[in-house]
Structure 1
Amino acid sequence: MRMRSVGPGQAVLEMDVAPHHLNGHAICHGGFIFALADSAFAYACNSHNRRAVAQHNTISFIAPARLGDRLTATAREITLSGRSGVYDVEVRRGDGALIALFRGCSRTVRGTHIPEEFPEVQEDNS
């Protein structure tokens, strides 16, 4: 997986389907597609510098992805209210075909990723 972009309430990740991603039907295993979508969701719901975890996720597989396909997962925030957020992720193939739709619900927990206040820097005058 590669991160293409992350911003407030959004994230874009991509991956190329390799031989180890294939299932017994010679298509990309749904678990890998779910992992791509879930990772985009995780970056999007943690993008406000508030620690967030998944509360509930669903995915609908629309079309198969095949060996060599480049998949792009685009996550966007639908709502963030209090400690709860809802995010939709579209997984598309390089030609734009829709592969899967994912919806993730997040719950904010205590803490931040980056301290809100940085300690003052002390000058060394020695």
Structure 2
Amino acid sequence: MMSATTTLQTTAETILAPGVADDPAFDWVRGMFRDDRASQFLGITITTLSEGLCEGEFTLRSEMCNGHGNAQGGFLYAFADSLFAGACNAGGQPTVAAFNTMHYIAPGKEGQRIHGRAIQSDTWGRNGITDVELACDGRVIAQFRGTSRAVTLK
């Protein structure tokens, strides 16, 4: 349960940009993002969503920066993970992370708008590989690779 001091930066109604994933085929992933309080807390806006693809953006706030004045890596990781989830779940089947890694290439700074693009590059059976690239002002600042697994929810 969220505390009274927690402020969501986007909401269930605003996490998806207008017109994104309106097709009934995306009911599952729309519902996933509607209930995703972590992504809403970060202030993520999903700008593109189709099967195997998810793009979005968010702004680095002061509370997301470390003592060097750079984006704390966990916030970038959480953003990449949210886009990864969007790409993996856009096919309509519940899918979770099995393994992932992140490479930090350049710092992000407070106030910068970070754009991310997740592309599911390969699938086999119930498994998949998705690559996520994060960029700021056209410059890549991090790369994430995740392995997913489709699951059955009870």
TM value normalised by structure 2: 0.70
Could you say which structure has the larger radius of gyration?
1
| Aligned match of 2:152 | 110
Deviation at 1:80, TM superposition (A): 1.2
**Identical-residue share of aligned pairs (%):** 39
Q: Larger RCO: Structure 1 or Structure 2 (Cα < 8 Å, ≥ 6 residues apart)?
A: 1
CA distance in 1, matches of 2:120, 2:50: 10
Residues 1:37 and 2:80 are matched in the alignment:
yes
Residues 1:13 and 2:56 are matched in the alignment:
yes
In structure 1, runs of 5+ residues without a counterpart are 112-126
| Aligned match of 1:122 | none
CA distance in 2, matches of 1:47, 1:18: 28
SS in structure 2 opposite 1:37?
A: helix
CA distance in 2, matches of 1:102, 1:8: 19
| Count of residue pairs brought into register by the alignment | 110
CA distance in 2, matches of 1:107, 1:77: 12
In structure 2, runs of 5+ residues without a counterpart are 1-43
Higher helix fraction: Structure 1 or Structure 2? 2
| Aligned match of 1:79 | 122
Higher strand fraction: Structure 1 or Structure 2? 1
Extract structure 1 runs of 4+ deviating beyond 4 A: none
Q: What do you get for the CA RMSD once the two structures are aligned? A: 0.8
TM value normalised by structure 1: 0.85
